């Protein structure tokens, strides 16, 4: 399974905010859409990522008051990205090694979507379930079973 397969399962909806946007507004978007990250976009290009991890760090640093804090001040610049042809095994390795829960997927300069660790887990479960059904069907129809009865 490849990243392109996961994107086709989940869709390519991209939630974004500008680096000049307020972190408090970003939180509203994330909560309202039940998501844990936003792509930070400026002039049609990804300039960073904002996840709940950065929001919590900012909240702690600001003494619980996000006030007028801008996204650009707390976002992850140059986030680790994947490409559509990356395997799911490679994806899991990168996400685990780099402690990344949300991975933007790019094809050249084009941003195709964002994959979460949850999306990866769901895809692995779906793939494993499919393989399991195939193996059970194969075992059930094992050649020679009829001749031994």
112: part of which helix (H) or strand (E)?
A: strand 110-116
- pLDDT of residue 146 exceeding 80, the answer is no
The Cα–Cα gap between 100 and 116 comes to: 9
Residues with Cβ < 8 Å from 13, sequence gap 6 or more? 113
Tokens matching residue 6? 């996961």
pLDDT, tens digit, for every residue of 60-84? 999 999 989 999 999 999 999 999 9
Can you tell me the distance from the alpha carbon of 106 to that of 44, in angstroms, rounded to the nearest whole number?
13
Confidence (pLDDT) at 144: 66
pLDDT digits (tens, 9 = 90+) for 17-52: 999 999 999 999 999 999 999 999 999 999 999 999
Scanning the structure block, which residue is given the tokens 């990804």? 46
Residues contacting 51, CB < 8 A, separation 6+: 36, 37, 38, 76, 101, 102
pLDDT tens digits for 93-102?
999 999 999 9
Q: Tell me the domains of the chain and their CATH numbers.
A: 3-141 (3.10.580.10)
- Portion of the chain with pLDDT greater than 90, in percent: 69
């Amino acid at each position: 399974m490849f990243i392109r397969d996961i994107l086709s399962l989940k869709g390519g909806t991209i939630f974004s905010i500008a680096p000049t946007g307020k972190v408090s507004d970003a939180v509203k978007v994330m909560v309202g859409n039940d998501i844990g990250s936003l792509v930070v976009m400026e002039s049609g290009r990804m300039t960073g990522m904002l996840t709940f991890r950065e929001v919590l760090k900012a909240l702690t640093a600001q003494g619980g008051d996000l006030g007028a804090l801008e996204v650009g001040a707390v976002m992850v610049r140059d986030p680790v990205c994947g490409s559509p042809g990356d395997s799911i095994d490679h994806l899991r390795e990168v996400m685990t090694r780099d402690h990344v829960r949300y991975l933007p997927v790019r094809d050249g300069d084009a941003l195709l979507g964002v994959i979460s660790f949850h999306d990866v887990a769901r895809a692995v479960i779906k793939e494993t379930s499919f393989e399991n059904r195939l193996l059970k069907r194969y075992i059930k129809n094992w050649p020679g079973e009829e001749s031994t009865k």
